[in-house]
Chains A and B, each alone.
Chain A
């Protein structure tokens, strides 16, 4: 079983749609959680951190459920420029490195 699991997609949605991605992680001792965005043939870039209280950044909302070991990302009012792969990421304090999911591909269509 992978440490971080995501639905690979692709999610094909029209502009303006709301789309949600989910992710589960297996290490209950994980302490920090993130969503990264990766464009085709580019490096991953931090989109946002994820907290138990939930956090919002413009059209993006992230949520963490520690009891279920579940992380979500909600994108409202999708733009063409949101098309990318979204990587669910967990920070392993023991290893002190990031553990990535395989990513969920989003394609926003006009």
Chain B
């Protein structure tokens, strides 16, 4: 069956620009997570949705980052005024419920800020 999909797969932007990254979770999965992975590091938690609401956004690095999931399915991670330090792979994961249910990851969006 279809897994988690993310678009675009690659995004190159200039410093100061606005970007949106999209995640389509596995159908029926209520929990959705965003992580960020820098080179040589493991993924780091950004934000978690249970349904439409952001249950925990404590991992967002600052107020330039924002994420929505208006209908409880697709989610968009939005980054304003991008900085070179935002360059990383942004991974989305979904799970059937929250808690210890297995999280399935999408292929990620590789963001490069020039």
Chain B interface mostly: loop
- Selected from B40, B58, B103, B106, the residue in CB contact (under 8 A) with A98 is B103
**Which of A44, A46, A91 has the most chain B CB atoms inside 10 A of its CB?**
A44
B103 CB contacts on chain A under 8 angstroms: 46, 98
Which of A55-63, A72-80, A100-108 makes up part of the contact surface? A100-108
Write the chain A residue with the least CB distance to B4.
A43
B50-94 with Cβ < 8 A to chain A: 55-56, 58-59, 91, 93
CA separation between A95 and B42, bound complex, in Å?
Answer: 17
Name the A residues within 8 Å of B107 (CB-CB). 42-43
Query: Chain B: how many interface residues by the 8 Å CB criterion?
Result: 24
Q: How far is the CA of A4 from the CA of B102 in the complex (A)?
A: 19
Residues of A in contact, count (CB < 8 Å): 22
Q: Mask for A5-31, Cβ within 8 A of B = 1, else 0?
A: 000100000000000000000000001
Q: Contact residues of B with A, CB < 8 Å?
A: 33, 35, 40-45, 48, 55-56, 58-59, 91, 93, 98-100, 102-103, 105-108
Query: Can you report 13 A-B residue pairs in the complex whose CB atoms are below 8 A from each other?
Result: A42-B107, A43-B107, A46-B102, A46-B103, A93-B99, A97-B48, A97-B56, A97-B59, A98-B93, A100-B43, A101-B42, A102-B40, A102-B41
Residues of chain A having any CB pair with chain B under 8 Å: 4, 8, 31-32, 42-46, 87, 89, 91, 93, 95-103
